[in-house]
Amino acid sequence: MKQNTVLLIAGIVGLIEVALFWVSVVLREPLIIIISFIAGILLIYGAKRTISDRREDERSALITQKAGARTLEVFWILFFAVSLGSLVMGFATPLGIPPPPKPFPRVPHDEPNLGYFGLLQMVLLFGMAFLYIGFRLYYARKYGEWDDDEE
Amino acid sequence: MENGTTMKNKIKVHRAMHNLTQEALAQEMGVARQTILAIEKGKYDPSLDLAFKIARRFCVNIDEVFVYEEN
């Protein structure tokens, strides 16, 4: 399979995921998007393995490896800091983490808080993606990705 | 390139002697042209595997192409 075909498949899968996310919200059923997202990613990874015109060599592998390692190195600090901030919210009650009230609040009363937690996670994940892109550009430049000479 | 050492190479000279372009050498080695360019410019140190392949392509010993220098 050609690399461009895989990119096209990834784009189509992305659009389907957006539609399924909407369906999931309308039906109030998180399992739809969770399962379909995992299935979509597996499909894209499976398609990537069949690429026949891949132009990847040891230098580009090193760039990917270094960017990934540096992203993790920085991201865990950001993630830990935000998690600590969230813990403060949990412990900032007179008796520590309060037990869930009985009966445990049912939907839709308690849903918005969980939703905002998901939003925070998404912001962190997008931050991670931007970090990775930034480090990738840095290492690509360092290892001469855009250099040119007289030839 | 680290710990006060540098890896220099004479790929450009050997390429000229064998009348090879970067693209042609890259194709024979199974890497991208940018990789050959980055090695020539000293921005990337090749793996031992690639270094031996390049030396063998030019029919010389590896230390005739790659020179390890301590600053």
Provide the residue ranges of all domains of chain B, joining segments of one domain with +. Answer: 5-70
Q: Which two tokens stand for residue A145?
A: 């990705």
CA distance A11 to A38: 15
**Cα–Cα distance measured from residue A16 to residue A7, given in angstroms and rounded to the nearest whole number:** 14
**Best A3, A55, A58, A141 residue to mutate vs chain B (most B CBs within 10 Å):** A58
Check A151 against B30: CB less than 8 A apart. Answer: no
- Residue A65 and residue A41 share a domain: no
* Cα distance between the two ends of chain A: 31
Confidence of residue A100 (pLDDT cuts 50, 70, 90): low
| CB-based contact A47:A89 (threshold 8 Å) | no
Question: How many structural domains are present in chain A?
Answer: 2
One domain for residues A32 and A91: no
Position A134 pLDDT exceeds 90 = yes
CATH fold group of domain B5-70: 434 Repressor (Amino-terminal Domain) (1.10.260)
Give yes or no for A148 touching B (CB within 8 A): yes
Closest CB to A151: pick one of B21, B35, B47.
B21
Tell me: do A141 and A74 sit in the same domain: yes
* Whole-angstrom distance, CA of residue A139 vs CA of residue B36: 17
Residue type, A31: L
Distance from the A145 Cα atom to the nearest Cα atom in chain B, whole angstroms: 6
Residue A111 has pLDDT above 60, yes or no: no
pLDDT < 50 stretches in chain B? none
Q: Residues of B with CB below 8 A from A58's CB? A: 31, 35, 46-47, 50
- Mean pLDDT (whole number) for A91-119: 64
User: Would you tell me how many other CB atoms lie within 10 Å of the CB of residue B40?
Assistant: 20
Instruction: Kindly state whether residues A26 and A86 are assigned to the same domain.
Output: no
pLDDT per position as a tens digit, A22-56: 999 999 888 999 999 999 999 999 998 888 877 77
- B62 or A146, which is more confident? B62
**The pLDDT of residue A109 is above 70:** no
Nearest by CB to B22, which of A62, A145, A151?
A151
Contacts of B19 in chain A (CB under 8 A): none
The ipTM, to two decimals, is 0.85
Q: State whether A66 and A132 are in the same domain.
A: yes
A50, A64: one domain: no
Same domain, A74 and A99: yes
Domain boundaries, position A121: 58-151
Tell me, yes or no, whether A17 and A76 share the same domain: no
Chain A residues whose beta carbon lies within 8 Å of the beta carbon of residue B44? 59, 62, 143-144
Q: Which of A32, A55, A78 is the last residue of a domain?
A: A55
Domain check: are A105 and A125 in the same one? yes
Contact between A17 and A33 (Cβ < 8 Å): yes
